[in-house]
Amino acid sequence: MRVVELEARHVRVALRRKVTHASHVRTETDNVVVRCKLSDGSTGYGEGVPRDYVTGETIDFSIDLLKRSDLGKPFDADCDDFVQAVHLAERLKLAAAPEDDRGILGNAARCALELAVLDAFGRAFGEPLTRVTELVAPELYQFRPEVRYSGVIGNPRGWKKRLYPLVYRLAGFKQVKLKVGIEGQDDVKRTGTIRRWLGRKMDLRVDANEAWAPADVAARIRELEPFGLTSVEQPVRHEDVACLADVRKQVKTPVMLDESLCGLIDAERAVSGGWCDLFNLRLSKCGGFIPSVRLAQFAKRHHLGYQLGCQVGETAILSAAGRHFATSVADVRYLEGSYDRHLVWESLAVEDLTFGRGGRAPALVGTGLGFALEPARLDWLTQRKESLLG
């Protein structure tokens, strides 16, 4: 069994609502989708969400990177079983960029390619993506038939400021993340209001999306600590991340890295510098399913926590991949993702993968990514299509 066709697409998906945080305002998303076809006809799909302010990628860069990478050589040999296919997927590398000292430029593109390959071979050999965790990191493997996702509150206006936290509370959610550091907003007043409507039992964390200056960050965190935060995510720009070693000594709240945690080099630097307590693992940002599992392994070895995050605008492809990660990797502190019906107009799936009441979502037990994609919807949303192999 071998790969005989690879195709990359620029897919543009409209969002159901404007998404605002300290780094960006978004009403649509431009994603890269890769289709992989095997010699037996099995077909798989992968997705990446390039963000220039995270890994330096634009949609055109991601597709052009895939085109100029030597993808023929890795697929010359046959895979006789799923174990060999997983080894093949882990070895996938795209063309390197000399200026990329973090080794992250192209992570979204690699994620799309890797997921397409794993999905195709999973369907061919009758294996779900959760099997990848068991093969790659058996010490982390823990299958769960159901998981619970967090709620997220961005920058709602007017009556929605009270509606969102109340809905999460009444729907039985256990965790909520609040976006802070948004220009024109009073974080202390706003966090206090959100806490009152969520109730004291709700696990509440905040995400500053690089909004605070190094000189102010400790004070900004301390003034929010009376509201019982369980973590603060990416409080400063990546360029200033080294200041967090001192900040952690001045605050009680655990610090999580996101934009500053996109690959193994970032992880090694974070541990060496003592910059954080938690990693935010997002499949697209971190280069795919297997690299994200490896980062969870690394965090575990160094006594750090980790959450599964997601990119704004993920379709069902990344939602499904995240579900497999969530239901197979042990000790994930928080879960984000599967917002499909609530966020994107077109999820690309026949099934609805959106989480249910209280953030509950079942494991996907089908082969590959475990859902059926609608090719007609993919065609309708495609802005550009390029052949990579075959």
| Binding annotation for Mg(2+) | 207, 233, 258
The four Cα atoms 71, 73, 77, 81 give a dihedral, to 10 degrees, of -40
User: What 3-state class would DSSP assign to 342?
Assistant: helix
Cβ neighbours for 265, distance < 8 A, ≥ 6 positions apart: 101, 102, 103, 104
| CA-closest candidate to residue 287, choices 312, 315, 266 | 266
Own/partner long-range contacts of 160-169 (Cβ < 8 Å, ≥24 apart):
161/190, 161/193, 161/194, 162/193, 162/197, 165/194, 165/197, 165/198, 166/197, 168/198, 168/202, 169/197, 169/198, 169/199, 169/202
In angstroms, what CA-CA distances link 138 with 128, 135, 214, 280? Answer: 15, 6, 39, 21
How far apart CA 241 and CA 239 sit, in angstroms, is 6
Instruction: List binding-site positions.
Output: 207, 233, 258
| CA-closest candidate to residue 9, choices 45, 43, 41, 38 | 45
Find out whether 248 and 235 touch, Cβ atoms under 8 Å: no
